[in-house]
A and B are shown apart, each in its own frame.
Chain A
Amino acid sequence: MAKSEKQAYDEFIKGVWRENPVFVQVLGMCPMLAVTNSAINGVAMGMATFFVLMGSSFLVSLLKNLIPKQVRISCFIIIIATFVTVVDYVLLATLPGIHKELGAFIPLIVANCLILGRQEAFASRNTIRMALADALGMAAGFLFALVALGGIREILGEGKLFGISLFGDNFEPWVIMILPPGGFITLGLMLLFFNWLEEKKKKLDAQVAATEGSDL
């Protein structure tokens, strides 16, 4: 029991940090760049993706033995598209403002390779429990990345965070940050940061291994 819990926990952390879908796997770039001109849009897109990913992973894992492997991709897409349509209508009915901001990018969640990727690589080969842990981690990692990028761009581009003014009237917004180039620049710098972290960790690991080796 404890072992399986640890494994589930590992799958979760893997998605949030070690294999973060955006910063490490560089997946889901289209919604990532398109909607992150404010933190709140990032939250909305992250939550929508979260719901779709959890639902799809659960169903795919549940039905993995019923779906013949020749038609698995089509089945995955049908499942994903169903959840996306549900999200689309529910958002339109409950949060029309957010739906207006995200616009065309909600239906495009269907084509988010992060979601299909998790079904093919993980959910269709693992137990429901593990699939849910994996989906939860990946969705949380995606949400984290969207909010981080959206937050940075909103702070620099509008001087606000979640619509709350941070610097007063004297701040001159860097409009470029909320335009598409700002998205690419911010994403590039964040990828740089994550790669730097990764290299640093590798070097430290190598150093630790070397000192341990010399101790022996």
Chain B
Amino acid sequence: MSEEKQAAAEAGEPSSNRLVGTLAVAGLLSGIIIITVYLATFDTIKENKARELREAVFRVLPGVDKMQRFLHKEGALVVSHVEEKGEKPIYGGYDKAGKFVGYAIPNAGPGFQDTVSVLYGYKPAERVVVGMWILDSRETPGLGDKIYKDAEFVANFDHLSVDPKIVAVKKGRKAKPNEVDAITGATISSKAVVRIINEGNERWLPKLSKPGLEPALEKVEATPEKAEAEK
């Protein structure tokens, strides 16, 4: 035994301290590098996400120039400027004159493979959905991803009546204003989008302000410098 140890020592066997030390130094350096990169990219990543959301809101609500975040608190919609964890906001779109146009409502639900996050524009005056945008999805490439790649399917959601509720029908059978032509080969994904919007409507429509009484556009934007930078 002692001979073995001696042989090991002669062969340059490092002590446990050295092994632990090496790993500790490696871990420490790695941690420092990762934190530096995280901090360096944090603002850009946050801005990207905010911009993505703004672009999506402008896309689902045609004619919108400004937006505000709304939260539902104590039975009324209130404008919110600070993001809080766990809250579920919707967005209000206003035209150039500051007149209210419609709501952009996000909702998510199960699709064919994974959760599908949808943002859709809703005009309360006409009770219609005016646009739909997929924020995030992992649907099958080539089939399920047509829910955002197929312009014909997306066009279904322009002036789509929400009464009594939206129904997906077989492609080419759309007859009523509340019907959507499903995508051939992606029926489950198409129906998922419709279901997610219906669920969003169930949750949000009763909570929305009465038409004409929507919160007014506040002069100070939530992030004025970012809004300016984008123009």
Residues of B within 8 A of A85 (CB): 34, 37
What range describes how many residues of A lie at the interface?
20 to 34
**A62 interface contact, C-beta 8 A:** no
A37 lies within 8 A of B141 (CB): yes
Residues of A within 8 A of B49 (CB): 96
**A93 interface contact, C-beta 8 A:** yes
28 A-B contact pairs sorted by A residue (CB < 8 Å)? A37-B142, A66-B22, A68-B14, A71-B23, A74-B23, A75-B23, A75-B26, A78-B23, A78-B27, A78-B30, A85-B37, A86-B34, A89-B38, A89-B40, A89-B41, A89-B45, A90-B37, A92-B48, A93-B45, A93-B48, A94-B44, A96-B45, A173-B142, A178-B141, A178-B142, A179-B140, A179-B141, A179-B143
Q: Is the interface of A mostly helix, strand, loop or mixed?
A: helix
Considering only residues 20-68 of chain A, those with a C-beta below 8 Å from chain B are 37, 66-68
Closest to B26 in A: A78
A175 lies within 8 A of B143 (CB): yes
What range describes how many residues of B lie at the interface?
20 to 34
Closest to B185 in A: A175
Closest to A37 in B: B141
Residues of A within 8 A of B138 (CB): 103
A92 lies within 8 A of B45 (CB): yes
B14 lies within 8 A of A70 (CB): yes
**B213 interface contact, C-beta 8 A:** no
With A96-B48, A179-B142 in contact, is A86–B33 under 8 Å at CB?
yes
